[in-house]
Homo-oligomer: A and B are copies of this chain.
């Protein structure tokens, strides 16, 4: 069993251009996780965003703090603590902070 707190995990910048966000890899292949990885993604300030993008694997997301929008081809949808989002592979998506505190969510992806 491995336990920890997300604030103890190194905060990185995602490699995708234009992402105004940080990422922490909580549980991943490095920890012996065989099938999927759990990350915490944070957009710190109102108006900052992860612009629309797509990739060949799905996301399973749950918002754990703050307020924001999930962005898609059809527009923006407000989300907050307790909201979940399933983004299928190859579907365009993004996120933005619309509140006064960091907008923070869990994002689980399959092993790369």
Contact A84 B5 (CB under 8 A): yes
The answer to whether the Cβ of A110 comes within 8 Å of any Cβ in the partner chain is yes
Contact B6 A84 (CB under 8 A): yes
C-beta contact mask, A88-112 vs B, less than 8 Å → 1, else 0?
1101010000000000001010100
Q: How many Å lie between the Cα of A86 and that of B106 in the bound state?
A: 15
Contact B36 A85 (CB under 8 A): no
The answer to whether the Cβ of A3 comes within 8 Å of any Cβ in the partner chain is yes
Cβ-closest chain B residue relative to A36: B36
Query: Within the complex, which residue of B6, B70, B72, B110 is in contact with A36, where a contact is CB–CB below 8 Å?
Result: B110
Instruction: Check A60/B38 contact, CB under 8 A, given A3-B70, A26-B84.
Output: yes
Q: How many Å lie between the Cα of A70 and that of B2 in the bound state?
A: 11
**Which A residues have a C-beta under 8 Å from some C-beta of B?**
1-7, 26-27, 31-36, 38, 40, 58, 60, 62, 64, 70, 72, 77, 79, 81-89, 91, 93, 106, 108, 110
